Structure 1
Amino acid sequence: MATDFKTAQPAEYYRQFLKQDVRPDGRELGEIRSTILNVGSITTADGSALVKLGNTTVICGIKAEFTTPKAEEPKQGFIVPNVDLPPLCSSSFKPGPPSEQAQVVSQLIADVIESAKVVDLETLCIQEEKLCWVLFCDMMCLDYDGNIADACMIALIAALKNVMLPSVSIDSDTGLATVSDTKTEALNVKAHPVATTFAVFDDTIIIADPTNEEETMVTGMVTLVVNEDNQLCAVHKPGGSPLSAEQLQDCINRAITRANEVRQLIDETGSSVDR
């Protein structure tokens, strides 16, 4: 009977739970799903991490390559994030060019990397105007069950902290680069921003960490990215129901708590990995 009710009137089915300050999966409205992190799982990458947020699973692999610095930024390297939502993670996604959602999350992460100054890009420069590192950060969703932005952000930061690069020396006479056989230089990750996504149901009820099913029924969403100083370094709200000042402050407080939990998880997991 409950299954029929859910199929026929999914929104009303949810309302019956939300009236009791609980969700169908048993979580409280502001409760985040369990988060599992594994670091260094891709041995062929220069850094990697796998995150499981509830059933949403994302793997991030980072590959470092040589390139020439931009003319306007001759002392800096690059970080290029890319989010992939392939058909294998959900039937909602089709083969072909990146979906709009994948592009939006990729841009959000690129903005956060820049605004939070996650890595000092000058440390990626090997020789001014001539040679630098570019870090291709590919995040692939293996199983999609909502809230892809939060999972990707965790995977990215954990993978960046796992990056090891070989030392590079430049011959002053020939200008040729010599790369060491072993990777001995860890990437200096200066900031650890954490994203927390909230959804608005029926224009008034705020829930944290929405599942795929919940995302299809909510009337608005907002992603808050918090840095180590408990300051917002990014806010992404693609339209939908507005939040009152009180609601927004409550979300910020929850995001700060969540950010501290995630940073602790990243530190504990990363410290247990042999490089």
Structure 2
Amino acid sequence: MALQYKTIHPVKYLRDFLAHNVRPDGRILHKFRPMALNIRSISSADGSALVKIGNTSVMCGIKAELTTPRPEEPDRGFVVPNVELSPLSSSKFRPGPPSEEAQVASQFIFDVLTNSCCLDTRTLCVVPDKIAWVLYCDLICLNYDGSILDACLLALMAALLTVTLPEVEYDVEKSSTLVKNKRTPLLINSVPVATTHAVFDDDVLLLDPTGEEEDLASGTVTVVLCEGKLCSIFKPGGSPLSEQQLEGCVERAKKRVSAVLELINATSESSSRG
């Protein structure tokens, strides 16, 4: 009976729960779902990580290739993130070209990498104007259940922290490149963390929303913090938020930062011991 009620009246179903300050999955309004992280999941990649936030799962694999620096940035390498939301992850996605949501997620990740300065792309340059590293970061959603931007950014940063690059020698006279076996860890300056809220009935904020909650919401807002400071706020339309509501989102995002950094450190230590 409850399932039929939920199917016929999904908004009222959620509203009935929220009237008692609880959500259908048993969480209170401002509680995160459990997070899990596994690093170096793909042995053939230069860096990789698997992230779970609730039922949302994202795999990130990074491949490093040598290329010619861009003419406008001759002393820098570059990072190319690509988010894939496959039909296997959710029935809301269809086969074919990347969906609008996937393109928005890819641009979001790129903007965070640029704005946060977590990675100095000058460290990816081997010889200015001649040779540099490009990092292809493929983010594949294995299961979609909300807060996809949070999961993608966490998967990307965890994977970047595992990247090692081989030392490269470039002979200018012969224009030849020698890739050595010795590898050096990629230098990551900081770890930006994303935290998403869903806006329901224009004034109720649901932290770390599920896919169903996002579908019923009148909007979402994603706060990105880096080293405790506000990096960006991403709000693609929907209901407007007051200054007080945004401040609340930022304060709750700070708790997510602490939890994410603890998870990354604990996973890294466990991997090192293994």
The reply to whether TM is greater than 0.5 is yes
> Which ranges of structure 2 fall in alignment gaps of 5 or more residues?
none
Distance of 2:19 and 2:243 partners within structure 1: 22
Aligned-partner residue type, residue 273 of structure 1: S
Distance of 1:53 and 1:5 partners within structure 2: 27
What's the CA shift for 1:85? 0.3
Matched, 1:110 2:110: yes
Q: CA deviation digits over 1:34-64, x for unaligned, max 9?
A: 0000000100000000001111100000000
Corresponding residue for residue 225 of structure 1: 224
What's the CA shift for 1:173? 3.5
| Number of residue pairs aligned between Structure 1 and Structure 2 | 273
What's the CA shift for 1:271? 2.8
Distance of 1:140 and 1:213 partners within structure 2: 20
SS at match of 2:107: helix
What's the CA shift for 1:7? 1.4
Corresponding residue for residue 209 of structure 2: 210
Corresponding residue for residue 264 of structure 2: 266
What's the CA shift for 1:172? 4.3
> Which ranges of structure 1 fall in alignment gaps of 5 or more residues?
none
Distance of 1:272 and 1:124 partners within structure 2: 28
Corresponding residue for residue 193 of structure 2: 194
Aligned-partner residue type, residue 236 of structure 2: P
- The answer as to whether partners of 1:158 and 1:270 remain within 8 angstroms in 2 is no
Corresponding residue for residue 9 of structure 2: 9
Aligned residues: CA RMSD? 1.1
Aligned-partner residue type, residue 222 of structure 2: T
Is 164-173 or 29-38 further displaced after alignment?
Answer: 164-173
TM-score w.r.t. the length of structure 1 is: 0.97
Aligned-partner residue type, residue 216 of structure 2: M
Corresponding residue for residue 93 of structure 2: 93
Corresponding residue for residue 254 of structure 2: 256
Aligned-partner residue type, residue 153 of structure 1: L
Distance of 1:59 and 1:191 partners within structure 2: 21
Q: CA deviation digits over 1:213-242, x for unaligned, max 9?
A: 1111001110000001x2111111011111
Aligned-partner residue type, residue 72 of structure 1: E
SS at match of 1:12: helix
- The answer as to whether partners of 1:52 and 1:58 remain within 8 angstroms in 2 is yes
Matches within 5 A, 1:113-192: 113-182=113-182, 184-192=183-191
Is 135-144 or 172-181 further displaced after alignment?
Answer: 172-181
Aligned-partner residue type, residue 119 of structure 2: V
Distance of 1:34 and 1:250 partners within structure 2: 21
Corresponding residue for residue 38 of structure 1: 38
Distance of 2:271 and 2:172 partners within structure 1: 37
Distance of 2:269 and 2:173 partners within structure 1: 41
Distance of 1:15 and 1:23 partners within structure 2: 9
Distance of 1:261 and 1:172 partners within structure 2: 47
What's the CA shift for 1:245? 1.1
Corresponding residue for residue 84 of structure 2: 84
Aligned-partner residue type, residue 154 of structure 2: I
- Where has structure 1 moved over 3 Å in runs of 4 or more? none
TM-score w.r.t. the length of structure 2 is: 0.97
Distance of 2:5 and 2:141 partners within structure 1: 31
Matched, 1:75 2:75: yes
SS at match of 1:13: helix
- The answer as to whether partners of 1:47 and 1:63 remain within 8 angstroms in 2 is yes
Aligned-partner residue type, residue 235 of structure 2: K
- The answer as to whether partners of 1:171 and 1:177 remain within 8 angstroms in 2 is yes
What's the CA shift for 1:3? 1.8
